[in-house]
């Protein structure tokens, strides 16, 4: 077993394994059995103290809020080091003598012996706060003193370093334990994930709660199959052969754009074009919009829907389809060679069990399908509420994928890509710039382009989702706001 692990930032690897709380606890038990007592907590505390120095090198007065369990123990260890390094840590601690885990007790004794300052209340002024209140053992909403201290950290404008998990966040799902709306985005937040990276840090509320994420494996290598993978970067596009032609990269056919909504279909089509499809056809449902669409975008081929070669195309259906798209769905589901279903196409399927049967028949016929629901659309398909979907996004995405035998992209902060037989992927790219109308249409078109040239629908979807978010990440902060038209023109 390695010695003290190294604290890393996530940009050093393209993908990262994510482990559930149960897997992390099992790993912790195995490692504890193989190491001298208290080793892991000492490593955790040292890593937290070192990271505190790195993120706030000039901080003198450091408030360390410690909970009653082993997360608090990590904080006590960190306090001991910061004290030894001539900082001024002040510990507020919720532990009770005689009623604490053995590891935390040892760290408490070490901190006391070292002369660390303990206080009943947080200092009025501090330069850095360390949240060591609850980690992966947190199962109840913070209340009383713990809730007060969390409020004080939220209100302060100094950096906060969360040990292992931001207190109150469920590490498996990214849901808050506490339903009160007190949580808001805090710019200067860091989280040091210990032993494993947990999925809840990267989806639902996790991204906002955790801020910048750091990882230290405490010198322990996780062998188990992860619960999910984090996709943190993307392989470079393979070079295109000089002898390639428009037929080499597949045909995408976009169907949608009912009267008043042709823009949605056009965004999907433009994204497919800029995403590298060989030819992009558009079957607009609004007859009156066809002429203007052709004139405005000559590279797109606007066709009558009945003239689209669905059985030879990657079809993207639903963007701006309205209720009228329902009537087209039997043919689209039966004939399309590959299919991306978005928006109104998903709503039509949710309402009609006959369409659901047609969808389920596609996979056995080797006709891949990708569904791209946002949480409400996913809820309609699963016959539950959007709140229930958000409560466990990984589970909801996998359930949808298994039910309909499709690749599923559950959109939202930390989009999830699931497929039967695959470990789900959480996408790390993207930011709130994408929270604007039409960006979902762009994603559907981009997935269409990636599917059209790939043999592997799951991998192609993961890469398209990453590429879509990456445009927002790379968007200059002083540039115009990223609207969907700019996004469609910028995707690759």
Ligand X SMILES: NC(=O)C1=CN([C@@H]2O[C@H](COP(=O)(O)OP(=O)(O)OC[C@H]3O[C@@H](n4cnc5c(N)ncnc54)[C@H](OP(=O)(O)O)[C@@H]3O)[C@@H](O)[C@H]2O)[C@@H](O)CC1
Instruction: Count the alpha carbons within 13 Å of 339 in the hemisphere toward its beta carbon.
Output: 34
Is the CB of residue 329 less than 8 Å from the CB of residue 349?
Answer: yes
Name the binder of 167 from ligand X, K ion, none, CB < 5-8 A by kind.
K ion
CA distance 339 to 252: 9
What is the distance between the alpha carbons of residues 325 and 246, in angstroms, rounded to a whole number? 29
Q: Find out whether 419 is annotated in a ligand binding site.
A: no
Quick one: what does residue 32 bind among ligand X, K ion, none, with the CB cut-off 5 to 8 Å set by partner type? ligand X
Nearer to ligand X, 38 or 61 (CB): 38
Q: Does 217 bind ligand X (CB under 6 A)?
A: no
Supply the minimum distance, in Å, between the C-beta of residue 100 and ligand X.
Answer: 7
115 marked as part of a ligand binding site: no
Q: Does 44 bind ligand X (CB under 6 A)?
A: yes
Among 47, 56, 68, 484, binds ligand X (CB under 6 A): 68
Segment lying near K ion (by CB under 5 A), choices 14-22, 55-63, 128-136, 253-261: 128-136
333 belongs to the binding site for K ion (CB under 5 A) = no
Q: Which is nearer to ligand X, 74 or 441 (CB)?
A: 74
Residue 220 sits in the site that holds ligand X (CB under 6 A): no
Question: Which value, to the nearest 10 degrees, does the dihedral of the CA atoms of residues 55, 57, 58, 64 take?
Answer: 60
Q: Does 428 bind ligand X (CB under 6 A)?
A: no
- Which residue in the set 122, 138, 263, 445 belongs to the binding site for ligand X (CB under 6 A)? 138
How far CA 104 is from CA of 166, 296, 360, 430, 468, in Å, comes to 19, 67, 52, 38, 44
- Select from ligand X, K ion, none the partner in contact with residue 131, using the beta carbon and a kind-dependent cut-off of 5 to 8 Å: K ion
DSSP letter for each residue of 252-286: EEEEE--TT-HHHHHHHHHHHHHTT-SEEEEEES-
- Smallest separation, CB 135 to K ion (Å): 5
Q: Is 49 in the site for ligand X (CB under 6 A)?
A: no
Query: Could you tell me where the beta strands, DSSP code E, fall in 165-246?
Result: 189-194, 212-216, 228-231
Q: Which does 194 bind (CB under 5 to 8 A by kind): K ion, ligand X, none?
A: ligand X
Among 101, 219, 278, 420, binds ligand X (CB under 6 A): 101
The residue within the footprint of ligand X, chosen from 28, 217, 342, 377 (CB under 6 A), is 28
Angle between helices 70-84 and 102-114 (to 10 degrees): 20
40 touching ligand X, by CB under 6 A: yes
Q: Does residue number 164 form part of the binding site for ligand X (CB under 6 A)? A: yes
Indicate whether 219 belongs to the interface with ligand X (CB under 6 A): no
Single out the residue of 34, 60, 112, 140 in contact with ligand X (rule: CB under 6 A): 140
374: annotated binding-site residue? yes
Cα separation, 319 vs 339, in Å, equals: 13
> Using CB under 6 A, which of 47, 59, 69, 310 touches ligand X?
69
Residue matched to tokens 């339903």: 179
Whole-angstrom CA distances from 48 to 69, 191, 322, 366, 432 are 16, 9, 52, 50, 29
Residue 441 annotated as lining a ligand binding site: yes
Nearest-approach distance from CB 178 to ligand X, in angstroms: 9
CA 180 to chain CA centroid, nearest Å? 22
Size of the site for ligand X (CB under 6 A): 30
- The answer to whether 320 is annotated as binding is yes
Site string for ligand X, 264-303 (x = CB under 6 A): ----------------------------------------
Which of ligand X, K ion, none does 142 bind, CB closer than 5 to 8 A by kind?
ligand X
Residue ranges of the alpha helices (H) in 19-65? 21-34, 39-55
Report whether 343 belongs to an annotated binding site. no
Binding to ligand X by residue 194, rule CB under 6 A?
A: yes
- 264 known member of a binding site: yes
Q: Which residue's structure tokens are 């762009």? A: 442
DSSP-assigned beta bridge partners for residue 131: 65, 162
Q: How far is 264 from 342, CA to CA, in rounded Å? A: 11
Size of the site for K ion (CB under 5 A): 4
Torsion of CA 343, 362, 305, 271, to 10 degrees: 50
Applying CB under 6 A, which of residues 18, 80, 146, 350 lies at the interface with ligand X?
A: 146
Can you name the residues that pair with 256 across neighbouring β-strands? 284
Which pairing describes strands 15-18 and 228-231: parallel, antiparallel, or unpaired?
antiparallel
CA distances from 350 to 299, 377, 400, 420 (A): 34, 8, 11, 20
Of 44 and 359, nearer to ligand X (C-beta) is 44
* C-alpha to C-alpha distances, 125 to 59, 138, 152, 308, 422, nearest whole angstrom: 11, 27, 11, 67, 49
167 binds K ion (CB under 5 A): yes
Q: Does 474 count as an annotated binding residue?
A: no
Q: Enumerate the β-bridge partners of residue 254.
A: 282, 316
List, as residue ranges, the binding site. Answer: 264, 320, 374, 411-415, 440-441
Residues lying near ligand X in the complex (CB under 6 A) are found at 28, 32, 40-41, 44, 67-72, 74, 101, 103, 134-143, 146, 163-165, 194-195
* Binding-site sequence positions for (6S)-NADPHX: 264, 320, 374, 441
Enumerate binding residues for K ion (CB under 5 A): 131, 162-163, 167
């Amino acid at each position: 077993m390695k010695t003290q692990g190294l604290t890393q930032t996530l940009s050093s690897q393209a993908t990262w394994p994510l482990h559930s709380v149960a897997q992390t606890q099992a790993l912790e038990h195995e490692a504890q059995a193989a190491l001298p007592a208290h080793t892991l907590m000492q490593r955790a505390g040292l890593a937290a103290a070192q990271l505190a120095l790195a993120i706030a090198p000039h901080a003198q007065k450091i408030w360390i809020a410690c909970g009653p369990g082993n997360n608090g123990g990590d904080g006590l260890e960190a306090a001991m080091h910061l004290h030894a390094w001539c900082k001024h840590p002040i510990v507020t601690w919720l532990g009770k003598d005689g009623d604490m885990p053995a590891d935390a007790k040892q760290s408490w004794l070490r901190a006391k012996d070292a002369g660390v300052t303990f206080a009943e209340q947080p200092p009025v002024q501090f330069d850095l706060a360390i949240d060591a209140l609850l980690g992966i053992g947190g199962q109840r909403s913070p209340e009383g003193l713990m809730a007060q201290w969390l409020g004080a950290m939220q209100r302060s404008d100094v950096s906060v370093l969360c040990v292992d998990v931001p207190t109150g966040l469920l590490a498996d799902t990214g849901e808050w334990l506490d339903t009160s709306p007190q949580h808001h985005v805090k710019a200067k937040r860091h989280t040091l994930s210990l032993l494993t990276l947990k999925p809840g840090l990267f989806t639902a509320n996790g991204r906002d709660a955790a801020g910048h994420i750091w990882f230290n494996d405490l010198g322990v290598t996780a062998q188990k199959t992860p619960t999910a993978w984090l996709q943190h970067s993307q392989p470079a596009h393979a070079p295109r052969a000089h002898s390639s032609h428009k037929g080499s990269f597949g045909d995408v056919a976009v169907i949608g754009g009912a009267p008043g909504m042709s823009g949605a279909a056009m965004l999907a089509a433009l994204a497919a074009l800029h995403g590298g499809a060989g030819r992009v056809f558009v079957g607009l449902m609004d007859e009156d919009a066809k002429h203007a669409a052709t004139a405005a975008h000559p590279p797109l081929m606007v066709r009558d829907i009945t003239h689209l070669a669905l059985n030879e195309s990657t079809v993207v259906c639903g963007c701006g389809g309205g209720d009228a798209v329902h009537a087209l769905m039997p043919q689209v589901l039966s004939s399309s060679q590959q299919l991306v279903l978005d928006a109104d196409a998903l709503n039509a399927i949710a309402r009609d069990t006959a369409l659901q049967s047609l969808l389920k028949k596609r996979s056995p016929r080797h006709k891949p399908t990708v569904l791209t629901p946002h949480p409400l659309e996913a809820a309609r398909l699963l016959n539950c509420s959007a709140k229930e979907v958000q409560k466990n996004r990984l589970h909801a995405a996998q359930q949808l994928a298994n039910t309909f035998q499709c690749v599923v992209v559950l959109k939202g902060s930390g989009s999830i890509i699931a497929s039967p037989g695959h470990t789900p992927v959480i996408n790390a790219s993207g930011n709130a710039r994408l929270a604007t109308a039409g960006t979902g249409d762009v994603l559907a078109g981009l997935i269409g382009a990636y599917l059209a040239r790939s043999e592997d629908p799951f991998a192609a979807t993961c890469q398209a989702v990453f590429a879509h978010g990456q445009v927002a990440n790379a968007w200059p902060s002083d540039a115009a706001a990223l609207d969907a038209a700019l996004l469609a023109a910028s995707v690759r």
